[in-house]
Structures are given as structure tokens and as C-alpha cells.
Structure 1
Amino acid sequence: MFDQSRINELPLQQGPAAPATAVLEGVRVIDFTHFVAGPLATMTLADFGADVIKVEAPNKGDDFRYYPPSDPELPAQGAPYLWTNRNKRSLALNMKSPEGLEVAKALIESADVLVENFSTGVMERFGLDYETCRKINPRLIYCSVSAYGRTGPYADRLGFDPIAQAESGFISMNGYSDRQGVRTGSAIMDISTAMTATNAILLALLARQRDGKGQFVEVALFDTAILMTGFAAMQHLTTGHEPQRNGNTSPDTCPSGVFECEDTPFYINCGNDGIFVRLFEQVLERPDIAHDPVLSKRANRLQSRDMLFGLMQDAFSRHPWSYWQPKLRAAGVPSGQVRTLAEALASDEARSRDLVTRIEHPVKGWIPNIATPLRLARTPARPARAAPAVGADTQEILADVLHFDEARIDALRAAGAFGG
């Protein structure tokens, strides 16, 4: 059950500062995606003006609709689904019927972009593989999101975010050295794959603007997961060193880690020698450490981590965060309180960026919304519209996009194109 009283206390979404034409206005996206990586990519396109038509199985829709929490007044509209599907329209379509496929192909003919993240072989079984769709619409950009790619010996494997974290080596790098590595609580590989897919689609649109041709675009979860291991991958390839789990400390910079002041934990990241000097000279008032000829060099500090951490922890424990935070900020030392998610969403930083607001919903009145992190001054994201119910826009899409008359729509409905 959604806590409506809490939702109603959120600030209202603010629209763009000035009227602007959405940068992707006129771009039509046919969205055959589900769960996170695909829907989050198409939502970003929708945020910036693309007409994203989410094609879903009648009645049930995307399985992600049922992830909790849900609300009895919003069947098949759980909070995670609302997070990845705003600004879209939903078309309920029975893809297993000839009449449903007829509608799908008509949509593809009208589209600029198709995005799918079914298991390998599903689109082929529907008769909607890239080669078939390219013949229907040569200008189509066909983006396929998969676990291990659509070709090769692993194309048949199913993949989810934690599997990609495990197989890419990402889990082995995270956690503490005295226990198994840990996955991230957030679906970080799904989210980064969504961002990669969005970038690939935008690049393909730019290429088509130059030569008028569509193309096949492929993004794989595993490929993105390798990227997300960061520069550790290149460190390994150049030295053979296997990254170790370092908990909250950094293997490359020192002192970087979590410290406890009088009332809360916080993180400091000394990314270079200058930050180290400012930390010890201006914040901790230890110029002798700041200008020590040995400790002032990054490589030497890595060997003296325990000693430095001991000095810092002793000093920080004597005062609350309200004392240390302004001193760290004034000295230009990157630092931040270790917050809970609730604290982060309610923070002054989040409020100053209008990241958490409420938007209108036709049933609930208001639902929460988390703003896109993409800020374009001249062509901003359009105001958020709540994610749709299953098939909420079917009639409108058939009439306004495909220009089907009532007789044709009725015949398709009678034939089962839109389910029961």
C-alpha cells in the first residue's frame, strides 16, 4: 500500500523554465521491453519528447508491474514499474494472434526506433526480427538489449543484473577481504545498460540524420558489466594484478574511507596530494603531517594507511558533523555524510535539484517522481506524466497513430488482437 499522506507532502513537479520544443519530438519508439534495462532506456527517450508506445500482453502486461510495493487501487502498477515507465503510452496487444501481429507491423512501419529485450529467438518467432522489420521500414533503428549478445555461443543464456555482477568480476571487487564479495543493492548493471542503450539509439538517430538509413543496434548486459568494473580492468591487463576487496577504503588513494564523527559516519576521498595537504593543514590543524616529506606523496601514504586513519578517527570523534562539515567544505576536501536512502531523498542537496517531487495520477491523485539527471538548458525534459495502466492508450494509438477507423478496430478486437 502506498503511503499517500507522505506522497502528498512532496513538492509539486516544476515545469521547464521556458517553453521549448522537446528535442525528440516527432520520434516514435515502439517499446517491446520489460523489467529495467529496456524500459529505463525508452523512458529517457520519452522524457525528452519521443512518443514511446509500450506494447504489452493484454491484461497482465510487463512482469515488472508486479514488483512491490503495490496499491489495491493501482492493479499492475507497482512502484518499481512507475519508476521506469513514465511518459509512455501503453498498447495491449496479443502478439500470438495474426491480427495482433498485423497491428505490430503497422506500428513498426510508422516508427523511428524499435527496442526489445526479449530472450534470444522470441522476436524471430514473432516474425519481427531485424531483417524482417528492415524490409517493412528501412529507416528503422532496431535496438536489441540482451544478456550476452544475439550471436555466439552464449546468445541463448538468460541474464539478470546480479548474474552480470557475478560473472563480470564486479562482485569479486566489492565488500571486505575476510568474506565473499557482495553485489550492489541497486540494479546497477541494468541501469548502466539502459544508459548505454539510450546512447546507442541516439547515435543511430544521428547517423540516420546524415544518410537516411536505419541500422541494427545491440547492447548486452555482460558487455556493460565489464565496463562497470572501471579502470580496474585496465590495471589488471597491464600488470596482472587481481583487484582485492577493500571495503570502504580505496586501493589507489589515501586517506579515503569512512570515518565516525561524534554523531554520524561520513566519507572522505583524498584523490590527490593537494587534498591531503588541505585536509591535515586546514581541517585537522596538523601542518606537521600535511607537509611531512614522506606522507605528502600518495604512494607513501598507501603504506601508512593505518597510522593516518588512526589519527583522523581520533580527531573526528571529538566533534559532531555540524562542526566538521563546514570545515571540510571550506577546505575543498571531498566529503559526505553516509546517509540512509530516506535521508538522501529528503536532503537539502536533493531538494535543491528538484530531484524528488510528486506528479498527478488519474487514480491516486498524486504519486512520487524521481527526476531525470539529464539537464538541458534549451531543450529540457518534458514534465513527467505517470506511467500508464496496461492498454490504457490502445484506442488512442490505433486511431491517432495508425489511423484505423472504428470498423477496423472493432474487427481486430473481435478477432482477439487486444486480448479478452
Structure 2
Amino acid sequence: MASRLLGRAAPLRFTSISRRPPCVRYLNVDHPAQGIPPPLQGVKILDLTRVLAGPTATMLLADLGADVIKVEEVSRGDDTRSWYPPAAPLIDSAPEEAAHLPPESAYFLAVNRNKRSITVNFKQPEGLAIVHKLVKQADVLVENFVSGKLAEAGLGWEDCRRLNPRLVYASITGYGQTGPFGKAAGYDVIVEAEAGLMHITGEPDGPPCKVGVAVTDIATGLYAHGAIMAGLLSREKTGQGVWIDCNLFESQLAGLANIASNYLIAGQEGSRHGTAHPSIVPYQVFPCKDGFIMIGAGNDKQFKLFAERILERPDLPSNSKFSTNKSRVANRQELVDLITETLQKEGRDHWIEKLTGLGVPFGPINNIHQTFAHPQVAARQMVTEVEHPRAGKIKLVSPAVTYNGKRMPVRRPPPYLSQHTTEILTELGYSGQQIAELKEKKTI
């Protein structure tokens, strides 16, 4: 694989936002970042996923240089294409062939960079033949259909393995390929509820809450991305492909972390604590005069600093009710009320200034505007501007990881529906006449 995976990076087609706020230090100023060659260059990935978990996994693989071909339904494409507003405004010079399409939804744009789009109706024999040809050329196939549905269509693991014994075939489902829920569809918010996360999220005296973003989907996409990389490495050792079974339920169960361990080891049931920690005090959000701030004094030394320098109560660390974390947990409400009374006397910025450099973990509760205005966002170039053929210049969150100080490039904007159908079919050997006939039949 090494000879296939290593190569020269594709030309950059993006501009990184690089506004430098004052007093920001940049890493590697004297040693320009070199990055790494795209490790998955030459790897072809067939992406039959929709919505969030699967597209997250394939986007991460595309970021590493893989050629990701997103296979979409002919008329509507990925479900998230219709999830708007908000959507990116269209430009006057948008391609005429895409004039019938809806605007590019912000949701779809979030997780589909660096991919190509082909539309295929593989319920038709000609469409299935197209996907079979793609399978023969692919290194990886990723799908998130309900268990068994692709096998009914002639695209299951056994079907594809016969076509390509070296194929890494990744299935992302709600509950896995087996078990009493194996045939059930999976939805992030349902699995959040069913696999414990919603039970431990929310205020103690309030109802269960979902997390503000689809974390179960995202976690599953991350697990799938790592599993696919492992599958490619395994193939290099065995010469054979592998069927990866990744699902929302098990990803969420694994994500319960210490809460799951508390139950398995000690039989301790989880509960809701709002922003507080069940085993550490003070460790939660506190109201200020004009906003909120998160305080995390996780040990006695930090609490001593907090009490003396912020609360101006040097007596508290020697008070038997607050001298140890165990005692602070036992007297949680009394200490929380005392801290709240003090912090509400001044505004958020006042406390931020006093806490900065003190050695007590803290953070302001930022809204999304404040988050993207954070100086670290500009300093680390965490937003990338890319030219989209229908929407013009759009901003995307940059890939989250740097290699030797440099991010992998955004080589392609998220594709509009069927943008690369003709290009991909031509690569497969179809003639212009054949492509026109397939369009006439609505096969593509």
C-alpha cells in the first residue's frame, strides 16, 4: 500500500482565514510548517452513506487524501441537502445544469468537503452495474443502510467481496448486524435516549435532555474512521478485505466512559447533574452579573487559590466543611450558594481577568459568535474559506488535526448534487452517448 498511499499533495484550492489578532503568538514561526504527504492518496472510497455518522467518517478519510465518491439518490441526494434553512446563498454564475436544485444547505456543507458526487439509481440493472464497476475499483465501501437492505439490492458484503476480495466494507447501523435490534433503524437522538446519555444530561430537577449537537452520530463516525484505517492496515498484512460492523448503540455505550464504569464496577446508577460533576466541587457553571462562567477547581490546591484570590475567603480551605474535595462534595449546596453570591457581584469579563493565569481551570460560556471570535480560532486558522461553484466563497470549519504544524488541505468544496457524475462515468469507460441514455432513463 505504501507506494499507493504516498504522493504529492494536490494543488490547494482554498484560502485560509488568517486575521491575526494582536498579542497572539504563532507556532513554528522560525520553522515553516511542512505537513505530510496525503497518507490516503490513491485510495478510492465508495461512500453510500447519508446524514451525519457515515459522512463524517468519509470526510475524515477524504481529508487524508482519499478519493471519496459519494453515491447519491438521483433526484434528492443525501437527506441533509433538504435540511434548510439555513443555506448558502446562490451566486449568479452558478452552473446552469444545477439550476433546478435547491440551495446548498449548511448541514450538508458541514460534513462533505473533499468529496465527489455521483447520482445512481441502483435499483435499475444499469445503475447496479455502475456501482458494481465502482466496487471493483474501490479500496473501501462505507454504507449506513438498515442491516440487510443493501444485500437485497445486490450490494451486500458477500456480493461486494465476490467482486473485490480486497475490499474493506464498513457498515454503519443503529444497533449492529445482529441481536434483537439488528434490523432496526438508528437515529442519534433515539440512541442518546436508549443508551443512557439522555438520562445523565440535564438539570437534577428537570427532565432528560439531548445534547446540543448529534454527538452519538459524530462519535460513531470517528469510530468508523479509525476502524476503516485499521481495515486498510489489516489488508496489507492479510491480502484480504474485512467487514466492519460499526453502530450508534455500541459507540454511545462506549462513550459513557466513567459513568458506565461506575455502574459496572460499583453498581452506581447515573444521574443528572446539570453542568456539575458528581464527584468534584466546585466544578460547574456559575452565573455572573451579565453572563456565565465555568469553574473547575479539581483539587485542593486549585480550590485554595480560588477561595483566596477570587472569593477573597482565605478561611474556606481550612474550614472542615470545605478543606477536602470529599467534604466539599458533602457540603455542595452551601459552597455553590457562597460562590454564586460572590460571582454575581461582577460581570463575566471581570472574573475572566482575575482568573487568567491564576492556575484555576475556567472558561466563559460562549455563544457560537463568541466561539468563532475566539483569538485561538484565528491564531490556529480554524476556519477555511473555499470557492463553491454554486455558492461562491463559503466558510467551513477546518480539519481538526495538524501534522508537523500543517493541516491537510481542503482540495474540493462540498459537491452539489451529481456534480461529478459525467466525470466519474467517463473514468469508468462510459461514452458520452451511453451517459446521455442513462440520464434519459433516470438511471443517473
For normalisation by structure 1, the TM-score amounts to 0.91
Indicate yes or no: 2:62 matched with 1:46: yes
How far did residue 239 of structure 1 move? Answer: 1.9
Contact kept in structure 2, 1:278 and 1:290, CA below 8 Å: no
> Given that residues 99 and 416 in structure 1 are in contact (C-alpha distance below 8 angstroms), is that contact kept between their aligned partners in structure 2?
no
Distance in 2 of aligned mates of 1:377 and 1:93: 40
Query: 2:22: which partner in 1?
Result: none
Residue 417 of structure 1 is matched in structure 2 by 443
Cα deviation, residue 292, structure 1: 4.1
Q: Deviations over 1:93-130 (max 9, x none)?
A: 11111111111011111111000001222211111111
Q: Which amino acid aligns with 1:259?
A: F
The answer to whether the aligner puts 1:13 opposite 2:41 as a matched pair is no
Is 1:345 paired with 2:361? Answer: no
Aligned residues: 407
The alpha carbon displacement at 1:398 in A equals 1.7
SS at match of 2:356: helix
Match of 2:150 in 1: 123
Note if contact 1:14-1:383 (Cα within 8 Å) is conserved in structure 2. Answer: no
Match of 2:77 among 61, 71, 77: 61
SS where residue 128 of structure 1 aligns?
A: coil
SS in 2 for 1:390: coil
Unaligned runs of 5+ in 1: 1-10
- Post-superposition Cα deviations, 1:254-299, rounded to whole Å, max 9, x if no partner, equal 0111112232210111222232222223433433223445523211
Offset from partner CA, 1:66-114 (integer Å, 9 cap, x none): 0012357362521101111111000111111111111101111111100
Deviation at residue 413 of structure 1 after TM alignment: 4.5
SS at match of 2:394: strand
Whole-Å Cα distance in 2 between the matches of residues 357 and 415 of structure 1? 39
2: CA distance between counterparts of 1:132 and 1:329? 59
Provide the rounded CA distance (Å) in 1 between the counterparts of 2:375 and 2:178. 47
Classify the secondary structure of the residue corresponding to 2:213.
coil
Q: Do the aligned residues in 2 keep the contact of 1:21 with 1:379 (CA within 8 Å)?
A: no
Aligned residue in 2 for 1:26: 42
Please give the residue correspondences for 1:271-350 in structure 2 after superposition, counting only pairs within 5 Å.
Answer: 271-292=298-319, 295-350=322-377
* CA displacement at 1:412 relative to structure 2: 4.4
**Corresponding residue of 2:252:** 225
Q: Given the alignment of the two structures, is residue 404 of structure 1 paired with residue 430 of structure 2, yes or no?
A: yes
Contact map agreement 1:108 1:133 (CA 8 A) in 2: yes
Quick one: distance in 1 between partners of 2:50 and 2:314? 56
Secondary structure of 1:132 counterpart: helix
Give the secondary structure class of the aligned counterpart of 1:367: strand
- Residue 19 of structure 1 and its aligned partner are, at CA, apart by 6.8
Alignment of 1:188 with 2:204, yes or no, is no
**1:3 corresponds to:** none
**Contact 2:201/2:272 (<8 A) preserved:** yes
Give the Å deviation of 1:154: 1.1
Aligned-residue offset at 1:52: 0.2
Shifted more, 222-231 versus 36-45: the winner is: 222-231
Structure 2 unmatched ranges of 5 or more = 1-13, 19-31, 91-100
Q: C-alpha displacement at 1:382, in angstroms?
A: 1.7
Q: Which amino acid aligns with 1:307?
A: E
Shift of the alpha carbon at 1:407? 5.1
Residue 94 of structure 2 is aligned to residue 78 of structure 1: no
Q: Given that residues 289 and 348 in structure 2 are in contact (C-alpha distance below 8 angstroms), is that contact kept between their aligned partners in structure 1? A: yes
Q: For the Cα contact (< 8 Å) 2:35–2:408, is it kept in 1? A: no
Shift of 1:30: 0.1
Structure 2 CA distance for aligned equivalents of residues 58 and 72 of structure 1: 23
**Residue of structure 1 aligned with 2:129, choices 78, 102, 105:** 102
Residues 269 and 334, structure 1, Cα contact 8 Å, conserved in 2: yes
- Post-superposition offset of 1:131: 1.1
Q: What is the distance in 2 between the residues matched to 1:225 and 1:167?
A: 9
Change in 2 beyond 3 A, CA 1:404/1:257:
same
SS in 2 for 1:287: coil
User: RMSD of the alignment, in Å?
Assistant: 2.2
C-alpha distance in 1, partners of 2:184/2:149?
13
Q: When the two structures are superposed, what TM-score results if normalisation uses the length of structure 2?
A: 0.86
- 1:241 maps to 2:241: no
The answer as to whether partners of 1:94 and 1:417 remain within 8 angstroms in 2 is yes
Q: SS at 1:103's partner residue? A: helix
Measure how far apart 1:135 and its partner are. 1.2
Residue 177 of structure 2 aligns with which residue? 150
Partner residue in 2 for 1:7: none
Once residues 408 and 109 of structure 1 are traced to their aligned partners in structure 2, the CA distance between those partners, rounded to angstroms, is 20
Which amino acid in the other structure matches residue 350 of structure 1? V
What is the identity, as a one-letter code, of the residue corresponding to 1:66? S
Write the letter of the residue equivalent to 2:16.
Q
